[in-house]
Homo-oligomer: A and B are copies of this chain.
Amino acid sequence: MISWKNLDALKGFEKLCALGRVDLPRAMAGAAGAARVAKYSVPMAAGLTYNYAAKAVDDDILAALAELAGEAQLAEKYEALLGGEIINTGEKRRVLHQLTRGQQAGAVTVDGVDKRAFYAEQQRKAAEFARKVHAGEITNAAGERFTTVVQIGIGGSDLGPRAMYLALEQWARQNGAFKMEARFISNVDPDDAASVLKSIDVSRSLFVLVSKSGTTLETLTNEAFVKDALKAAGLDASRHMVAVTSETSPLAKSSDYLAAFFMDDFIGGRYSSTSCVGGAVLSLAFGPEVFQRFLDGAAQADALAKNTDPLKNPAMLDALIGVYERNVLGFPATAVLPYSQALSRFPAHLQQLDMESNGKSVNRFGEPVGYPTGPVIFGEPGTNGQHSFYQLLHQGTDIVPLQFVGFRRNQAGMDVDIQGSTSQQKLCANVAAQIMAFACGKDDANPNKAFAGGRPSSIIIGDRLTPESLGALLSHFENKVMFQGFCWNVNSFDQEGVQLGKVLAKRVLAHDTDGALKAYSDLLDI
């Protein structure tokens, strides 16, 4: 029987707070440090490893976290979610995005529909469509092949798919899987669409319009913008557009689209990269086989997240350590630092995933929680960040926990040997060096050159960023965020905080304002 309790109502939390803190510079020094690196490591899916040696934990804290996990019923709640229970209690919805990539529990049937079969069928349709486009069976009116796919969507319909596209673009080029270039239009700022349209041949472009409700203002506005451009080029827009939406949306049955692929209310935008929201554009860009490999990696990670022992469940462990850092150590932000240029927009995806899921102040019952929930998430790829904001991370007055990601090999297969090492070796050397610099610091007679250390990090290590490891990486963080939501007893699946702005923006556009809102509207000449 599942019981939803606040974090501070758990005995395990009280116990955790009472435990002594880890002296990280000392723990990571010498042979003991090397032993920690070997010991505090857990296999992830698809050949990845989660290493948490440089986190401020020890066996006592880990045992307390495991106790907390049991008391908070993390594994049971995850199983309930997989089994189709109404875990999105605020909106009274199931949470089924994991069915898009595999079946981790028994069949989930809603209104007589087997949802796993439904999502698989949508992906089969998208795959078939992509194959026809690649084979030249679906072309523009002049019979020419499409060369570019443009996703029109915002938020979860943009950040995840865009990050995944960038993550696999070089891999696909290197491995003969690159089919079509993808571009993305998201912002209602008309300069966004204008910029993309100027850089492509619209006559050879397919547009994927993504809006679950079919009513997202930005997306519909950008659709109209694109249709104007197609019309101006003498083209029939309906031969250039497909829709990804829900079956009940106004877009679903429209003849304005070459095809429509469906998702539903049980897949939140920020969890939708493995649904047709990512599936259509990624199958078009890299072929359905690559997308399937991405799904397989995610499914493996989902299976791993069922383990009841956090020491064997990297997503749960990552979540628990994050809760410890947020609620016991009191750190308000977390940086995501992939040492991989291909993951340049992965932090932006995680920023949405994490902050939109757990940036909440009330629990599942609508009661204010008395502890901090989701932290601020930010990040840029390394080594770039080293020459930017790392100064504050090393020597600033606040401690920011760090999540590194690194791969032994690069994607493009091109490299150069300078001063006795390749670029890839330099990249890896830097991430290893940073972990130790943050953990142990350095004494110096000049206080300006001294480093206090004690700045915790973990690293996810892989051999190479592939479709499978990317899927595993994505799922790891989705599951981590959900586990943290369970710990904090918040609903990680709604986003009521975005509503008020929408309502007020409509009032501005209707000139139905007064007071300061009217004053700002006047200043902005609306």
Contacts and interface: CB of A to CB of B under 8 A. Distances in A.
A198 B193 CA distance: 24
Given A448-B496, A449-B496, A520-B435, A372 B398 contact: yes
Interface in A410-427: 410-416, 418-427
B356 A427 contact: no
A308 interface: no
A361 B362 CA distance: 35
A54 to B, nearest CB: 8
A24 B54 CA distance: 41
Contacts of A414: 190, 193-194, 197, 225
A169 interface: yes
Given A173-B198, A418-B224, A412 B520 contact: no
Contacts of A408: 524-525
A500 B416 CA distance: 25
Contacts of A54: 516
Contact of A388 (B339, B355, B431): B355
Contacts of A516: 28-29, 33-34, 36-37, 53-54, 435-436, 439
A497 B344 CA distance: 23
A47 interface: no
Nearest to A521: B432
Interface residues of A, number: 160
Interface stretch (A74-82, A104-112, A150-158, A314-322): A150-158
Contacts of A173: 198
A62 B449 CA distance: 36
Contact of A360 (B53, B355, B395, B415): B395
A84 interface: no
Contacts of A507: 433
Contact of A332 (B332, B415, B422, B523): B332
Given A190-B410, A383-B187, A398 B427 contact: no
Nearest to A332: B332
A506 B436 CA distance: 13
A436 B519 CA distance: 11
A235 interface: no
Interface string A214-238: 0001101110110010000000000
Nearest to A523: B461
A356 B388 contact: yes
B366 A446 contact: yes
Interface string A174-209: 000000000000111111111101100000000000
A344 to B, nearest CB: 8
A430 interface: yes
Contacts of A186: 384
A390 interface: yes
Interface in A108-167: 154-156, 158-159
A428 interface: yes
A496 to B, nearest CB: 5
19 contacts: A34-B514, A154-B387, A186-B384, A187-B383, A188-B426, A190-B410, A191-B410, A194-B414, A218-B387, A269-B387, A355-B391, A359-B392, A360-B395, A361-B397, A394-B498, A426-B505, A428-B524, A432-B505, A448-B496
Given A191-B411, A374-B397, A432-B523, 18 more contacts: A29-B515, A51-B523, A155-B387, A156-B387, A189-B383, A191-B412, A194-B414, A221-B416, A348-B380, A359-B389, A366-B447, A372-B398, A390-B498, A395-B496, A433-B517, A434-B501, A448-B491, A448-B494
